[in-house]
C-alpha cells in the first residue's frame, strides 16, 4: 500500500512539474520509463514491456542529443539513437525474451523463403514498435495541432506520446 502511494505521488509530481517545450522532453522519457516499470509490476507480457522500453531508449537518446548544443559528427542523432537502442534492448533481451512462431505459407515448398515457420521474439518486435511510435508521435501531435487551427492543449505532446504507447501496448497484450 505504501509503495503504491509513493508511486502515485511521484507520477503526480512529474505530471504537475512545469517544463520547457521540447520535442523529446525529460517528461516523455520518464513517462515511457514509468510505463515500462508499471507494466512489469502488474505482470503484462514481455512484448508490451518491449514497446515501453523501446520508446524509453529512443526518448533517452533524443533527449541526450537535444542536450548537445551542436552536431559534432554527421548523422549524430541517428548514431546516438541506434547506440541507445542497441545498448538498452539487447542486454534486456536475455532476461525478457518471449518467443513465438509465425507460419508463412505464400508460395513454394516448405522451407523456401515464403513457406516456412519463423521464430520471432515478441520483446524485440515490441521494442521496435515502441521506438517507431515514439519517433512518430511528435508529428502526430503537430498534425492534431494543425487540425485545430494551431491550438494546443496543455502537455499535448506528452498525452499523444503516452496515449499512443498505451494503445500499442494494449494491442500487443491482446494479440499475444
Question: Tens-of-pLDDT digits for all 176 residues of the chain?
Answer: 556 555 555 554 455 444 443 445 566 667 666 777 777 778 888 899 899 899 989 988 888 888 888 888 888 888 999 999 998 888 888 888 889 998 888 888 888 888 899 999 999 999 999 999 999 998 998 898 888 888 888 888 888 999 999 999 999 989 87
Residue linked to cell 533527449:
63
What is the number of domains present in the chain?
Answer: 1
Reference 89, options 50, 62, 45; nearest CA is 50
Whether 65 is in a domain gets the answer yes
Q: How far apart are CA 115 and CA 117, in angstroms?
A: 7
Residue 81 in domain:
yes
pLDDT (0 to 100) of residue 152 = 81
The strand pairing partners of 103, in sequence order, are 117
What confidence score (pLDDT) does residue 2 get?
58
pLDDT score at 19: 42
Strand partners, 117: 103
Q: What is the DSSP letter of 119?
A: E
Q: 5 in a domain, yes or no?
A: no
Residues 165 and 35: beta-carbon distance below 8 Å = yes
Return the pLDDT at 126. 93
Whole-number Å distance between alpha carbons of 24 and 136: 11
pTM of the model: 0.74
pLDDT of 17: 44
Phi, psi of 134 (to 5 degrees): -65, -35
- Alpha-carbon distances, residue 19 vs 54, 60, 65, 74, 159 (angstroms): 23, 16, 18, 29, 14
Residue 9 belongs to some domain of the structure: no
Do the domain assignments include residue 8? no
Asked if residue 10 is part of any domain, the answer here is no
- Which residues neighbour 174 within 8 Å (Cβ) at sequence distance 6 or greater? none
Asked, for residue 120, whether it belongs to a domain, the answer is yes
Using CA atoms, how far apart are residues 85 and 39, in angstroms rounded to an integer? 19
- Give the structural domain span for 54: 25-175
In angstroms, the CA 22 to CA 5 distance is 29
123 in any annotated domain: yes
Amino acid at each position: 500500500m505504501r509503495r503504491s502511494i509513493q508511486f502515485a505521488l511521484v507520477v503526480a509530481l512529474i505530471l504537475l512539474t512545469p517544463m520547457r517545450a521540447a520535442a523529446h522532453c525529460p517528461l516523455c522519457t520518464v513517462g515511457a520509463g514509468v510505463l515500462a516499470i508499471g507494466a512489469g509490476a502488474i505482470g503484462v507480457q514481455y512484448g508490451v514491456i518491449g514497446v515501453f522500453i523501446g520508446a524509453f531508449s529512443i526518448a533517452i537518446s533524443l533527449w541526450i542529443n537535444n542536450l548537445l548544443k551542436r552536431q559534432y559528427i554527421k548523422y549524430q542523432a541517428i548514431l546516438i539513437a541506434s547506440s541507445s537502442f542497441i545498448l538498452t534492448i539487447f542486454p534486456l533481451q536475455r532476461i525478457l525474451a518471449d518467443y513465438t512462431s509465425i507460419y508463412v505459407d505464400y508460395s513454394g515448398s516448405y522451407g523456401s523463403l515464403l513457406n516456412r515457420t519463423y521464430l520471432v521474439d515478441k520483446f524485440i518486435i515490441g521494442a521496435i514498435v515502441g521506438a517507431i511510435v515514439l519517433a512518430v508521435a511528435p508529428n502526430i501531435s503537430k498534425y492534431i495541432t494543425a487540425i485545430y487551427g494551431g491550438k494546443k492543449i496543455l502537455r499535448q505532446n506528452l498525452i499523444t506520446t503516452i496515449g499512443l504507447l498505451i494503445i500499442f501496448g494494449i494491442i500487443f497484450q491482446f494479440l499475444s
